[in-house]
Amino acid sequence: MKKAMMMVLAIAVAFLLAGCTVTQGISLSSDGNGECGIQLDTSDYFKSLIVDLTSFDKQVANKGKDPDTIILDNSIGTLWSSIGNSSASSYVNFYRTPAPEKSYIGTIRFTDLDKLIADLGSKASRKDIDSLFSMTSNSITIRIGMDNYHVLSELIPFLKEENFEAYGPVYNHGYSEADYLEMMDFILGDSTSENIKNSEIDISFSVPGSIVATNGTMTSSDTVSFSIPLIKLLLLNDDIQMTVSWK
């Protein structure tokens, strides 16, 4: 279960660093099977920004497609293909809705989480992967900090793209939120700080039992939701932690 959560979080972080809205739900079962669903909604701001931050000029030249379509299709589609190539995934579906909304929607059903994460994170050690999580038979703690951010970068190479990486925590950890937002307005335009402040990742977990403790918001006896502001991910001045326990 913990490995599947990291996989979906990694997808979300990759695109939140450029600014957009991600909504996802993760359903877990006691036998190790489960399902992850994710929806990425892209705004005009997000599409123009991601083109600016990514070195894809040669890829979009003479393709007859919008640059943002090429970039997003490649970035998301490549990961979804890797998931589909694992024998641990029993069902993988990914599609893009038509313009003007242009949302990306994906569903993953899995049977063997250890094999799935091993296939996806072959460049990261098991020790590094496990540093993102602590888990017992009835509790999970997810922690993202500077000491394990590199694990996400190994799982999602897009995070290490040099122009993209410059706007994330690798180079900006330690800035105050006010200074960082002022810098982003100067570099990328006056609307940037407002778009960053309005961007977040919303995650819900459905667990195989009744929740007894969490630092998130319970929406039912077995489901908890978390909302993480984008600025917290961009700077990682404090660890981001999500915990839930059940019986």
What percentage of residues in the chain have a pLDDT greater than 70? 64
Question: What is the rounded CA–CA span in Å between residue 15 and residue 22?
Answer: 8
Residue that wins the pLDDT comparison between 144 and 29:
144
Q: What is the pLDDT of residues 170-195, one digit of tens each?
A: 999 999 999 999 998 888 778 788 87
The tokens describing 211, both together, are 């929740």
The tokens describing 129, both together, are 């992967």
- Calculated CA dihedral for residues 154, 121, 36, 137, nearest 10 degrees: -110
pLDDT of amino acid 1: 45
